[in-house]
A and B are shown apart, each in its own frame.
Chain A
Amino acid sequence: MRSLSEIETAVKRASRAVGFSWGNSEEVGKSIRLLELFGFQGVKNLNQYYAVKQKKKFEDLNLISEKNEPSLEAYCPIILGISFLDQIKSIENFETIRFEKIAYPVIFLSFLSRASEISGKKIYAKFDKNEILLNLNVNICSSFFNQKFPKLVDKVEIKFLTNQDNFTEIEWNSLYKLAENTFVEESDSLKQGAAGAGLTDND
């Protein structure tokens, strides 16, 4: 079994060898390491992408807007991913970000996961019909488990999810009521002595 450290180093060097700058190659190394850690086929997809990249010119998207359409070929998932990370502060307020045609989208997915951690928000992504939830770079929930990732997605939709509770106020109150059963009702003497400050805390 290859260690994640070996994977990161080899990916960084391979990325440099295919023409990315050292700084960008470092980013790819971290991202592929992450995919492998989460159980996605990072090395396999990157290998295939670099093989195709030698014959085909993918498009670089350096400035992300709400709607992004490549003029001819699909977007390079690496430059797109790095741009997404770099521009996170300016794009996190968009309601939905749409991309058309991204090559080897699983590679882009790793950058989205890191973006979720940087922004402190969960990210919802839809790759054609498949839904993915990126949870602050702690895990990735997707319906892709045990499935091959496509080599190309036509439509991608990204939403930064507002941090909000996953439950109703009624559900919370019900749970809190149970928690209160671990508390002691304070008598006057407990109020007087148990906190050490007496009945008033004015100075």
Chain B
Amino acid sequence: MNVELRDPNTIMKLSRLGSFHQSKLSFLRSFLSEFKDWDYKRDLFNLDQNGYGEAVYSFKKKDRVYSLVCFANEIKDEERSDRVIATKWDAAFTLHDGVPSKDDIKRLKNEVPKQEVGRLSIKELTLSRANKSVRVFNHVVECLSEGKQPDLDLLSKVGYLYRTTAVYGSGKFGLADRFRIKNREEINGPFRLEMMLVYLVRQFTFDQVNHVAHYKNPKKAVKLDKQICKNLGIGNSTGLGMAPFIVNHPTLLNNWILSREIALKKIREIKIVENEDSELFKDCVKKSLKNITSWNTDSEYQQNKIKLLLKDVENFIDYIENNFNFKTEYPFNVIYMWLEQNVCEECIEYIVSIMMEPYNNITEPLVSNMSSDEDKYFNIPTNRTVQELLDIIEARYPNILEINFDQKENNQNFWFISKNKEEPRLADRFEEHGSELEQPLAIARDIKKLYEKLLLEKNNLTIAKFLSLNSELRHVVRRAFIIEKFPYSEIQDNTIGKSIVPIDMLRLKLSFFGALKFDPRSDKWLRICMFQGAPLPNELKNYDEQWVYKTSN
């Protein structure tokens, strides 16, 4: 049986992309899998009794060493902010390429805590900062120092001791450009070094909280229970900065989605499913209910999505337990068809993610296809004709062409870069100033403009001649030729309409990171948790791959 890949015009809609969940293809899980046989070490832990100072953690294999350099600083409560406009954080981190010398640490101590206004070197690969969840951190210190373990209900509500507010890589602020390291086998997957940084930061938070509790009451203090540590992750506050990334990296976006779609297609094409595989799948679905019921958010939007998801997953469990037989041929295809008919988008994508759990043989080869070299596809084939470009647009953007951008609500917003923090923002073009400095992120509108211009030209005109008269459309001409080869490279929706929910764009990216428990704080930023339930570094050599579904929080 040949199952078709799903239609990009369905999958690449924002509401669908905003329903994606982590899976075996997610970057934090593929990072753990890649680095599980590396040697982990805490090389330096030089904190004072209040937990301020430096620490270094490393992963090593043969001659290659990656070192996380941590700087924990004292800040006042009023200085602590998750907003990107903050200038001080509880801790700042960089991932250094190799073993940092004393001079390196001295240099980094001066630069890393400054974050965006500091300068890094090509010896550094990623940069980040994090703030304590003061409520949880202090509670844990208090309890441990008194010889008790902390209140699990409180930990469960938050899920982490620290949350990062940005993780930078790829040449930002002087960090090494991606091209310098892209041929290293161990980082042949997107965001692998960013994942490493976050993972090691998580361990630092446990070591720091134990250290502070010990010095608070050396005679009585106990260490945070390892199982409790495992059920804590690292939080992350994410705003609009992530949204343009997926628009500006079309072939990368394609490769992420295409890998997911190929995995689903191959799973649906399995004629006979082994008993142990179907049992693993069912077990993960059932255990995952805990992830849904422990998913806390004040966002009414997300609460409604969670309620619907829970109801649909329970329905699905009822279906596979009582009305479905895994002995049937192509069982996952039957399941998928049932999902399409009976549950919401969020549940479809949730179950699709879990379908991958038994199939390392399908997912592992796909992981290495999830990076991309955008430069390879940058040049426009200008010898092609207007007719050819029209054909591509009609085939690849059918729903976009139906949008009427003369209607105010379809042209309501504009994306811009704020002068204060050089971060992307979204605003109402009819109420705010600055739309003349709009960023080229209104792809749907500009594709429609391009299409209308092309219709006025002779069909055999070359793109070179068309561009010589229409340079303002060059950015979308390039994209149209990219989507010809990469069908999942474009969001098939209007990114400037009145009804846009920007966090759908963030959610897409975060699901590929492997984030859990999306907690929208508005339509423009959200909090998430990463690595909750993940093995600790000293457990990596032998860990349960389905840890995601076995957290107790």
Chain B residues positioned under 8 Å from A20 (CB to CB): 471
Please report the C-alpha to C-alpha distance between residue A21 and residue B379 in the assembled complex, in whole angstroms: 16
Question: Of B85-93, B172-180, B350-358, which binds chain A?
Answer: B172-180
A5, A21, A90: the one contacting B177 at CB < 8 Å is: A5
Chain A residues positioned under 8 Å from B175 (CB to CB): 3
Chain A contact residues: over half helix, strand or loop, or mixed?
A: helix
User: Given that A21-B474, A62-B468 are known contacts, is A88 also in contact with B174, CB under 8 Å in the complex?
Assistant: no
Chain B residues positioned under 8 Å from A6 (CB to CB): 171-174
Most chain A C-beta atoms within 10 Å of own C-beta, residue among B175, B471, B473: B471
Question: Contact between B174 and A23 (Cβ–Cβ < 8 Å)?
Answer: no
Question: Contact between A5 and B474 (Cβ–Cβ < 8 Å)?
Answer: no
Chain B minimum-CB-distance residue to A37: B179
* 154-189 of chain B: CB within 8 A of chain A: 170-179
B177, B378, B464, B471: the one contacting A87 at CB < 8 Å is: B464
Please report the C-alpha to C-alpha distance between residue A110 and residue B473 in the assembled complex, in whole angstroms: 22
A199 at the interface (CB under 8 A from B): no
Residue-wise interface mask of A (130-170) relative to B, using a CB-CB cutoff of 8 A (1 in contact, 0 not): 00000000000000000000000000000000000000000
* 19-60 of chain A: CB within 8 A of chain B: 20-24, 26-27, 30
* 8-34 of chain B: CB within 8 A of chain A: none
B176, B472, B474, B475: the one contacting A3 at CB < 8 Å is: B176
Please report the C-alpha to C-alpha distance between residue A118 and residue B379 in the assembled complex, in whole angstroms: 8
Please report the C-alpha to C-alpha distance between residue A1 and residue B478 in the assembled complex, in whole angstroms: 31
A121 at the interface (CB under 8 A from B): no
Question: Contact between A23 and B471 (Cβ–Cβ < 8 Å)?
Answer: yes
Please report the C-alpha to C-alpha distance between residue A4 and residue B178 in the assembled complex, in whole angstroms: 10
Chain A residues positioned under 8 Å from B179 (CB to CB): 4
B477 at the interface (CB under 8 A from A): yes
In the assembled complex, how far is the CB of residue B410 from the closest CB belonging to chain A, in whole angstroms?
A: 20
Please report the C-alpha to C-alpha distance between residue A111 and residue B176 in the assembled complex, in whole angstroms: 25
Question: Contact between A4 and B468 (Cβ–Cβ < 8 Å)?
Answer: no
B379, B468, B469, B473: the one contacting A23 at CB < 8 Å is: B473
Question: Contact between A3 and B464 (Cβ–Cβ < 8 Å)?
Answer: no
Question: Contact between B464 and A86 (Cβ–Cβ < 8 Å)?
Answer: yes
B172, B467, B473, B476: the one contacting A5 at CB < 8 Å is: B172
User: Given that A4-B179, A5-B172, A23-B475 are known contacts, is A89 also in contact with B383, CB under 8 Å in the complex?
Assistant: yes
Chain A minimum-CB-distance residue to B122: A1
Chain A minimum-CB-distance residue to B476: A23
A18 at the interface (CB under 8 A from B): no
Chain A residues positioned under 8 Å from B473 (CB to CB): 21, 23
Chain A residues positioned under 8 Å from B440 (CB to CB): 22-23
B380 at the interface (CB under 8 A from A): yes
Question: Contact between A30 and B468 (Cβ–Cβ < 8 Å)?
Answer: no
Q: How many B residues touch A, CB cutoff 8 Å?
A: 33
B296 at the interface (CB under 8 A from A): no
In the assembled complex, how far is the CB of residue B127 from the closest CB belonging to chain A, in whole angstroms?
A: 12
Please report the C-alpha to C-alpha distance between residue A27 and residue B478 in the assembled complex, in whole angstroms: 11
In the assembled complex, how far is the CB of residue A79 from the closest CB belonging to chain B, in whole angstroms?
A: 8
Residue-wise interface mask of A (104-126) relative to B, using a CB-CB cutoff of 8 A (1 in contact, 0 not): 00000000001000100000000
In the assembled complex, how far is the CB of residue A37 from the closest CB belonging to chain B, in whole angstroms?
A: 9
Question: Contact between B464 and A23 (Cβ–Cβ < 8 Å)?
Answer: no
Question: Contact between B178 and A5 (Cβ–Cβ < 8 Å)?
Answer: yes
Question: Contact between A4 and B171 (Cβ–Cβ < 8 Å)?
Answer: yes
B178, B463, B474: the one contacting A24 at CB < 8 Å is: B474
A2 at the interface (CB under 8 A from B): yes
Question: Contact between A114 and B379 (Cβ–Cβ < 8 Å)?
Answer: yes
Question: Contact between B178 and A23 (Cβ–Cβ < 8 Å)?
Answer: no
In the assembled complex, how far is the CB of residue A105 from the closest CB belonging to chain B, in whole angstroms?
A: 21
B291 at the interface (CB under 8 A from A): no
Chain A minimum-CB-distance residue to B382: A86
Q: Which 8 A-B pairs have the closest CB atoms?
A: A23-B474, A5-B171, A3-B171, A23-B475, A22-B440, A86-B464, A62-B468, A89-B383
A-B contact pairs, 11 of them (CB 8 A): A2-B174, A5-B171, A5-B172, A21-B474, A23-B440, A23-B478, A26-B474, A30-B378, A85-B379, A87-B382, A87-B464
Q: A26-B378, A85-B379 are in contact. List 17 more A-B contacts (CB 8 A).
A: A2-B174, A3-B172, A5-B171, A5-B177, A13-B417, A21-B473, A22-B440, A22-B474, A23-B471, A23-B473, A23-B475, A27-B474, A63-B468, A86-B382, A87-B464, A88-B382, A89-B383
